[in-house]
Chains A and B, each alone.
Chain A
């Protein structure tokens, strides 16, 4: 069975600082991995996805994530935080079994201070 652990329910950074949101997964087969962002009272929007091509994946809004198989990690980073990055971020894993649903982490709320 697949699972996702996001370390830290809340992460606080200053504007211009590095953003690092951690995600570790468990999967019995090579996974597909995703990061979604959710702004208040909105649906989830895909930031980026890993689909077994390049291990460093670039997404929208300057975010990127690196797939590290040996560490079973898919951490999300951004070199310089912007106030507009304040949102909740979800990591998810897919094994494409059965009805192809994603397993989500519990989410990390990113707070950006001026």
Chain B
């Protein structure tokens, strides 16, 4: 069966410090991978998606970047965190190819607090 894990689960960082959140998927190959952010009262915001190694698309301009160094690994980074980067970050994957309903499978989430 397929599993998705992301870490760390909780992170408290000072403003201006770097960030690295990691996500890995097991039990499938060539998944589409996604990073979402939840800020209080703002629902789910799609940040990045990737359809393959080294292929990253950004949905919104921001202080964050993403990378996909391996087929089932997705990393969210920042060189200098801002207060506004605080939130709950979710990694997700979906299968490619038929049959495909577009169903997303989510990780456990990472709570980032920037102070």
Contact = CB atoms under 8 A, between A and B. Distances in A.
Given A41-B109, A43-B90, A99 B57 contact: yes
How would you classify the secondary structure of chain A's contact residues: helix, strand, loop or mixed?
Answer: loop
Interface of A: 32, 34, 36, 41-46, 49, 51, 90, 92, 94-96, 99-102, 104-107
Contacts, number: 62
Interface string B3-16: 00000000000000
B49 A99 contact: yes
Q: Top 10 nearest A-B pairs by Cβ distance?
A: A94-B102, A43-B106, A106-B43, A44-B106, A100-B102, A32-B101, A104-B44, A43-B109, A43-B108, A51-B101
Contact of B103 (A41, A46, A106): A46
Majority secondary structure of chain B interface residues (helix, strand, loop or mixed): strand
Contact of A99 (B32, B101, B106, B107): B32
B109 A94 contact: no
A44 B90 contact: yes
Contacts of A104: 43-44
